[in-house]
Chain A
Amino acid sequence: MGSLPPFEYLEPSTLQYALYILNRYGESASILAGGTDLLVQMRDGKKTPKYVVNIKKIPQLEGIRLENEGVVIGALTTVNKIHESNLIKEKFPALHQAAGVLASYQVRNRATIGGNLCNASPAADLAPPLLIYEAKLKIAGLKGEDEVPIKRFFLGPGKTVIEQGMILKEIYIPTPKEHTYSIHLKFGERRAMECAIINVAASISIGDSICEDAKIALGSVAPTPIRSENAEAELRGKKLDEEVIKRAAEAAAKDSKPISDIRASAEYRREMVKVFVRRALHSLMIESNMGNR
C-alpha cells in the first residue's frame, strides 16, 4: 500500500452527464460512490484510474421509495439508511439485518448498496438478502436502461454484467407475498469489521401450514453469492419440521463450492453452511408458527 496515485476528479450532477463521461473515458474512469472499496483498491495499486467520477452529486440515485407493489432503493443509498428504514425493516427483514452487520457503523455511514453489489465480492453482505427477495437491478447506459434480475448480475469475484460506461441506478425489490418470513445470518469471528466466513439468507412462504415457496442464498461459499436450488427444492411443498430442515441444510452444503483461504477452510465453511441454514430455517419455522397462530 502506498499513497493515493494521482487522478483527475470529476463530479457530474446528472446521470446523463455521468454516463457521457464514463463513455468518453472508458477504462480509464472509475465510479466513486461510498469509496469504501475503491479508495482501498487505489491505495493497494489494484486500480489506477485516471479519472475518478464521483456520482454522489446525482440526486435521483439516492433514497428509498414505494413503487409497483415493491420498494425501490437508489444505488447511492447508504447501508445505514437502509438499516434504519422502517419500510425495509417491516417488508424485508433479512435486508435490514444484513445492513446492520456490514463492516462497522462508521463504514455503513459511507458505503452504498450499489457499491456493495458492484464491487461483487463473494462475501458482499447485502447480496444474499437481495437474492432471496429476487431483486431487479436497473442499469443505465447511454442507450437507455436495462433491468437485470440479481441472479444474473454476478459473474465472478469482482465481475458483474455491468459494462464500462454503465451505472447501476436503482434496485427494485418486489414485496413478498403474505405469510413470507425471512432472515439473514452472518457468521464471522469478530462482531464488527468482519468479512463473512459465510452469509446465509433464507425465506419461506407458508400456505395451509405448508411451505409453498422457499429461497435460500449463500455468501462467501462460491465465486459469487448464490442461490441454493437443491435446498429450496427440499422445502417446497413440505410441512416444515426438524427432519425437512436438516435435509435442506445438507443440500445447501452440497450446493456450496467454497475455497480455503486465510479466513477459513473449505471444509469448515461447508459445515457452517449446514449449521446456519438449519438455524435460519429453524428460526423461520418458529416465527411462522407464531404468525399463523
Chain B
Amino acid sequence: MTVQISRESLIGKSLTRVDALEKVTGRAVYGDDIKMTGLLYGKILRSPKAHAKIKRIDVSKALALEGVKAVVTGKDAPFRGGEALRDQPFLAIDKVRFVGEPVAAVAAVDERIAEEAIKLIEVEYEDLPAVFDVMDALKPDAPIIHEELHTYEHIPIVQPVPGTNICAKFEFERGDLEKGFAEADVVIEDTFTFAPSHHGQIEPFMAIAQVDYNGRITVWVPNDAPSRLRKDLSDAMKIPQDRIRVISPPYMGGGFGGKGGLKVEMVCIALAMKTECRPVKIRLTREETFEATLTRHGAVCWVKMGAKKDGRIVACHSKLYYNTGAYAEKGPTVTLHGCESGVGPYDIPNIKVEGYCVYTNRPVAGALRGYGLPQSSWAHESLVDMLAHKLGLDPLEIRLKNALVEGSINPIRGDELFSVGLKECLEKAAKAIDWYKKRPPNRGVGIACEYKATKTPSGSTAFVRIEQDGSVEVVTSSVEIGQGVRTILTQIVAEELGASPNMIKVTVPDTDYTPFDASTTASRTTFHMGNAVREAARDAKKQLLELASKLYGISPERLDTWDGKVFPKEGGKEMSFREVITSHYRAGLSILGRGSYYPNIPGTLFSAHSVFYMYAAHAVEIEVDPETGVITILKYAAAHDVGRAINPKACEGQIEGGVLQGIGSTLYEEILFDDKGVMLNPNFRDYKMPTSMDMPKVIPIIVEAPHKEGPFGAKGIGEITLVPVSPAIANALFNAIGVRIKDLPLTAEKVYFAIKKQKGGN
C-alpha cells in the first residue's frame, strides 16, 4: 500500500502548549509540592540594619529549643558566591550590607519551631553609615561597602575599582565623539531616572538541600540555570562540580531573571551540612521574596545627542549609573548589556558609552527581563523624542532615518549586522495605531524602539532519545520557566525527526543526567538549545534510517520520516519508529542522538558581540485625564523581529506579557524604602503590579528577518518585549499634553503635579 504523507511543516504553527492541561487543572508540580521523609524546615534571621558590623551572635537559646536540629551563621559556611564577581557570603560574615541579608538560620522539625527559634537568636550590631543613592555612593567621601573588593574573584570582563563602590565599569567608544558633536546642528542632553522594581513571580523562592553520607550535595530548586548553579556553588565552596547535583522541580512559577544565581540555595546548603543527611526545605514568604531576593536596578542615566538639521544623529554620549545594591549578583553584566544598547538601535558614527555598576546598601539588584535595557532605553528613547521635537521632526520619521538596517555597523561593538527587521517593526507598529491620525485634546501617541543582544558566547548540549516503543525524549537542561520552552523544543524536534508532537516529551533538568546548558536566560534558548536539539534530532534520525535501510534493503538516502513513521521516498510500506527499532533489536535498545551548539565567536563569557540581535518597536495611543493625572492606554502595538516564529501564539504571549509587565514599571511599580533602608511595600497589596483588569488592548505584531544560524531562522523574543514600554508611554504623554516626565514611574499623582506645574509656569 502506498501512503500519501502530507508533510505540512510544524514550524510557524501555533501548537497548544504541551503543558497547558497540567497547568490549568492544577496538577503541575512545583518546588514546594515536593515532600520527603525526614524533611526539616529552615527559617532565616535577617538583618534589620542596612549597614552594620556584627559584634556578637548568640545562638545558644535557639539551639536549645526542642525540635531545632541545626543553627548556622556566616562562620559555619565561610563561602562567597556570585556568577560575575564572588562577593556574596552564604550568610553575613562580620558585617551586614542591606536590610534583609541572612545573618543566621535554623533548621527544625517544622516551620513554626524554626520561626520561634530565629527569634531566640541574639545579634549585636554596631551601625555603620549607609549609602542608598547611586550618585551619593560615587562621592569620594561615601562609606565603602566592600573594603575587601580587591580580594574578590571575578570573570575577566568585570573590572572592579577597589577603594570605591564601583563594582564594575564598562566603556565603549567608536568614531570621534568631539568631532561628531562639533558637526551637529543641534545638541541636547538630559538625565533620566529609573525606579527599582520587582519581578513579582507568583511562586515565591524555595529550595531543598540534602548532603549525603559521602558529603555529596543535592539541591532541588526552581533555578533558571541548573548547570550554572552547579558551577557557581562549586566555585564558591571550592569543591568539584561532580560533588553537587541540581534537580529542577517539574515546574517553575515564573522567573523573569530573578530565579538565577545563588539565592535560597546558599542558606539551605549551609543548614543541610549540619543535619546529618536530613533534607532541609526553605520557602520564603512573599515579604522575604520582595526584600531579600532581587530587584531590578534603579538607575540614573545621562544622555547627550547631536544631530544634523535633517534629523541624522551624528554623535551620542551616555553615562549610565546602575544601583546594584549590596552585592554584585548579575549587576556587572546587566550594566554591560545596558551599555550595549546605550545609544539605541541607530546608525550613529560617533559614540561613547560609560556604564557604572555601583554598590549601595539597597537590596541586591540583578537580572529582570530586559537586563539593563529598560533603564538605558528609557533615557535615549526619551531623548530621541526630545530631539525630534527640537528639530520639528516627527518622532517616527527621526527613528526611521537613523534606524539600523541590514549591513549596518553595530554602533557599540562594531560588528556588521544581519537579520535586521527594525524598520519593518517601526512601520508596522506605527500603522497599527494609525500614527498620523489627528487626535482630540488630551490624546496622544508615542513610539520607541530598541535592539538587544544575547549573552555571547554560550553553549547548549542536548540528546534526543528514541525509545523502543517509538516515543521520543528530548534530554535537555533548559528550564520551563513559563515561557513555553517545552513546546518550542517539541516542535523543533518533531519537525526535524519526523515525529508527531504527542510522541515527544521534554525532560526536567537534573545535572546528573541532562547535559550542560549555559542558562535559560537572555532570550537564548530557542536559538541555542533549539539548534542543539535540532542537531540531536538529525543525528537520531540518521541512526534510525540506517536501521530502517537494512529492513527495507534500500539506502538510507532513499528513506524519510514523518509523523513517527519511516517510509521510502518513492512510496511503499511505512514502518513506525517502534517497528523499526523492535524489528532490528528484538530484545530492545534505545537510539541516542546528540547535538550541541556553540557560536563560532571567540571570547570569554559576555565578552563578544552578540550572535543575534532582537529588534522591536512599540507604538501606543493614550488618553490623559488632566484633572487626575491618570493615563489610560487606548491601543498598544508591539512589533518584534523574532527571526522566525516557531510558534506564533507563543511569541504573541511573550509580547502581551512583556507589555503588561512594562506597563507595571511605567505607571505603577516602584519599590519604596524608608530612610533606614527598610522596604515599605514588600507585598502585592502595596507594590502595585497591574492586574488582568488593567490589561489594555495589545496588538502583537511578528516581524520575521530570518537569522542564517538560527533554527529555521529563529532568534529570540522574551526579554526585549518590555524594554520600549516606558519611553513609548512617556513620549505619548508629551504628545498628548506637552508634559515631559524624566523620572519613572509615571504615577497619576506625578503626572497631575507635572501638569499643574506646567500650567502654573505659563
Which of B14-22, B305-313, B687-695, B704-712 is near enough to bind chain A? B687-695
Contact of B112 among A3, A104, A275 (CB under 8 A): A3
A3, B752: Cβ atoms closer than 8 Å: no
A190, B628: Cβ atoms closer than 8 Å: no
Given contacts A268-B753, A272-B628, A275-B627, contact A189 B691 (CB under 8 A): no
Q: Mark A259-293, 1 if CB is under 8 A from B, else 0.
A: 00011110010011001000000000000000000
Contact of A268 among B115, B690, B694, B752 (CB under 8 A): B752
Interface residues of B in 606-664 (CB under 8 A from A): 627-628, 630
Which of B178-186, B241-249, B483-491, B678-686 is near enough to bind chain A? B678-686
Min Cβ gap A253→B in Å is 13
Min Cβ gap A188→B in Å is 9
Give B748's nearest chain A residue, CB to CB: A189
Interface residues of B in 87-132 (CB under 8 A from A): 111-112, 115
A190, B285: Cβ atoms closer than 8 Å: no
Min Cβ gap A123→B in Å is 11
Give A279's nearest chain B residue, CB to CB: B627
Interface residues of A in 1-42 (CB under 8 A from B): 1-3, 5-6
B749, A268: Cβ atoms closer than 8 Å: yes
Q: How far is the CA of A271 from the CA of B683 in the complex (A)?
A: 28
Give every chain A residue within 8 A of B667 (Cβ-Cβ): 189
Give every chain A residue within 8 A of B748 (Cβ-Cβ): 189
Give every chain A residue within 8 A of B680 (Cβ-Cβ): 262
A6, B112: Cβ atoms closer than 8 Å: yes
Q: How far is the CA of A5 from the CA of B115 in the complex (A)?
A: 10
Q: Is A195 an interface residue (CB 8 A)?
A: yes
Given contacts A3-B111, A104-B691, contact A187 B628 (CB under 8 A): yes
Give every chain B residue within 8 A of A268 (Cβ-Cβ): 749, 752-753
Min Cβ gap B753→A in Å is 7
A193, B685: Cβ atoms closer than 8 Å: yes
Interface residues of B in 709-762 (CB under 8 A from A): 747-749, 752-753
Q: Is B287 an interface residue (CB 8 A)?
A: yes
Q: Is A155 an interface residue (CB 8 A)?
A: no
B747, A189: Cβ atoms closer than 8 Å: yes
Q: Is A177 an interface residue (CB 8 A)?
A: no
Q: How far is the CA of A192 from the CA of B691 in the complex (A)?
A: 7
Give A3's nearest chain B residue, CB to CB: B111
Q: How many residues of B contact A (CB 8 A)?
A: 29
Q: Is A191 an interface residue (CB 8 A)?
A: yes
Q: How far is the CA of A191 from the CA of B361 in the complex (A)?
A: 34
Give B686's nearest chain A residue, CB to CB: A262
Give every chain A residue within 8 A of B694 (Cβ-Cβ): 190-192
Q: How far is the CA of A194 from the CA of B748 in the complex (A)?
A: 14
Q: How far is the CA of A275 from the CA of B688 in the complex (A)?
A: 23
Min Cβ gap A285→B in Å is 17
Give A265's nearest chain B residue, CB to CB: B749
Give every chain B residue within 8 A of A104 (Cβ-Cβ): 691, 693
Q: How far is the CA of A262 from the CA of B627 in the complex (A)?
A: 21
Q: Mark A193-214, 1 if CB is under 8 A from B, else 0.
A: 1110000000000000000000
Min Cβ gap A189→B in Å is 6
Give A272's nearest chain B residue, CB to CB: B628
B752, A2: Cβ atoms closer than 8 Å: no
Min Cβ gap B410→A in Å is 39
Q: How far is the CA of A263 from the CA of B748 in the complex (A)?
A: 11
Give every chain B residue within 8 A of A187 (Cβ-Cβ): 628
Contact of B672 among A190, A194, A262, A265 (CB under 8 A): A262
Given contacts A189-B667, A190-B688, A192-B694, contact A262 B681 (CB under 8 A): yes
Q: Is B152 an interface residue (CB 8 A)?
A: no
Q: How far is the CA of A263 from the CA of B287 in the complex (A)?
A: 18
B752, A271: Cβ atoms closer than 8 Å: yes
Q: How far is the CA of A187 from the CA of B625 in the complex (A)?
A: 13
Give B287's nearest chain A residue, CB to CB: A1
Give every chain B residue within 8 A of A5 (Cβ-Cβ): 112
Give A2's nearest chain B residue, CB to CB: B115
Give every chain A residue within 8 A of B753 (Cβ-Cβ): 268
Min Cβ gap B427→A in Å is 32
Min Cβ gap B622→A in Å is 15
Give A40's nearest chain B residue, CB to CB: B685
B286, A1: Cβ atoms closer than 8 Å: yes
Q: How far is the CA of A90 from the CA of B672 in the complex (A)?
A: 43
Given contacts A193-B685, A262-B686, contact A1 B752 (CB under 8 A): no
Give every chain B residue within 8 A of A265 (Cβ-Cβ): 749
A193, B627: Cβ atoms closer than 8 Å: no
Min Cβ gap A278→B in Å is 9
Q: Is B251 an interface residue (CB 8 A)?
A: no
Q: How far is the CA of A195 from the CA of B681 in the complex (A)?
A: 13
Q: Mark A166-187, 1 if CB is under 8 A from B, else 0.
A: 0000000000000000000001
Q: How far is the CA of A275 from the CA of B629 in the complex (A)?
A: 11
Q: How far is the CA of A193 from the CA of B200 in the complex (A)?
A: 15
Min Cβ gap A269→B in Å is 9
Q: Is B30 an interface residue (CB 8 A)?
A: no
Q: Is B668 an interface residue (CB 8 A)?
A: yes
Min Cβ gap B108→A in Å is 12
10 cross-chain CB contacts under 8 A: A2-B285, A189-B630, A190-B690, A190-B691, A190-B693, A193-B685, A195-B685, A262-B680, A262-B681, A263-B686
Known contacts A1-B286, A189-B630, A189-B748; 16 additional CB pairs below 8 A are A1-B287, A2-B111, A2-B115, A3-B115, A104-B691, A190-B690, A191-B693, A192-B692, A192-B693, A192-B694, A262-B681, A262-B686, A263-B686, A265-B749, A271-B752, A275-B628
Closest A-B pairs by Cβ, 9 of them:
A191-B693, A192-B693, A192-B691, A268-B749, A1-B285, A275-B627, A1-B287, A2-B115, A191-B694
